[in-house]
Amino acid sequence: MNTPTRRRALTLLAAAAGLPLLDLPLMGLRPAAAVEMPTLRHWSGVALGADAHLVINHPNPAEADALIQASLAEVARLEAIFSLYRPDSALSRLNRDGVLVDPPAELVILLAEALSIARRTDGAFDPTVQPLWTLYAGHFGRPGASPAGPPESAVREALAQVGYHKLTVAPDRVSFHHPGMALTLNGIAQGYVTDQVVALLKARGVAHTLVDMGEIRAVGTHPTGRPWTAGIKAPGEDDRTLLTLPLRDQALSTSGAYGTPFEPTGRFNHLFTPATGRCSDPRFSVSVSAPTATLADALSTALSVTPVGARVLARFPECRAWRAGADGSVTALNRSQST
């Protein structure tokens, strides 16, 4: 999925007032003092090309460790389906051949969800933007590349291959309508994998856990009885938290253009507006809380590239969203919401 050097915009915090922070250090985050919680088992590593963390509240350390290993096996299984960078993955084979017969059920389920969100966001979320990534990465990967970006003619050519309505998804076949099309699931797959790990843990009796496989989802409470807590960092910064949010049976995702820039200024980056091929403003990020990490992941991507965020968000009454600025501002995107 995304490369491990992607900068994270969320940090996980302890929920208990008066206690030091529970240290789950993310990339670029200043470590905090850890709380001794003997029932908590921690794992930190890389999943789907990004920093990942798993915290399980369980009285039996051996059983907790077995649950962590089962979770990681599930992540590995799903990565073999969704990875853009493994040539043998189902997604890579689809992008290479333009058609995938007898696709894995998980790919069909996730693509159906992606297309539903694409329609509900008027195409602001669109998994077919991979040709734009290829264009920009290729342009800035060449020596002496123009700092003005690819020529408009090349952008128009790439845009001709973009459009979620040009993708057919059925249980027995996934196919593109035109040669040159390609999918990326980087704006939704990490959320889906997070949800699948949560489902696995719940099925095995875990009632209190914090799962972060690129996106965060909290189940139950922290051992103190308080909610789990996540902090939204200032865009492009590692150690300035602008907003702290309690999480209980809720997911949280942040999308920021500064996360994966193609060139030093960040003007050209991985968050594309599907209608124009232009890139999102790196001075801002969008965070979304939702019942599932899949929805939070996709919706934070969509709200990062649409000029009518409040209107789109109104179609998702179960979600809340915030826009954070590098100047330290935080704006609630829900019309009736306050920070």
- Mapping DSSP onto H, E and C, the string for the chain reads CCCCCCCCCEEEECCCCCCCCCCECCCCCCCCCCCCCCCEEEEEEEECCEEEEEEEECCCHHHHHHHHHHHHHHHHHHHHHHCCCCCCCHHHHHHHHCEEECCCHHHHHHHHHHHHHHHHCCCCCCCCCHHHHHHHHHHHCCCCCCCCCCCHHHHHHHHCCCCHHHEEEECCEEEECCCCCCCCCCCCHHHHHHHHHHHHHHHCCCCCEEEECCCEEEECCCCCCCCEEEEEECCCCCCCEEEEEEECCEEEEEEEHHHCECCCCCCCECCECCCCCCECCCCEEEEEEECCHHHHHHHHHHHHHCCCHHHHHCCCCCCEEEEEECCCCEEECCCCCCC
For tokens 């389920």, the residue is 109
187 is in an annotated binding site: yes
301 is in an annotated binding site: yes
Q: What angle do CA 242, 244, 250 make, to 5 degrees?
A: 130
134 is in an annotated binding site: no
Q: Which two tokens stand for residue 148?
A: 């003005």
Q: How far apart are CA 243 and CA 265, in angstroms?
A: 25
Give the residue numbers of the binding site for Mg(2+). 187, 297, 301
Give the residue numbers of the binding site. 187, 297, 301
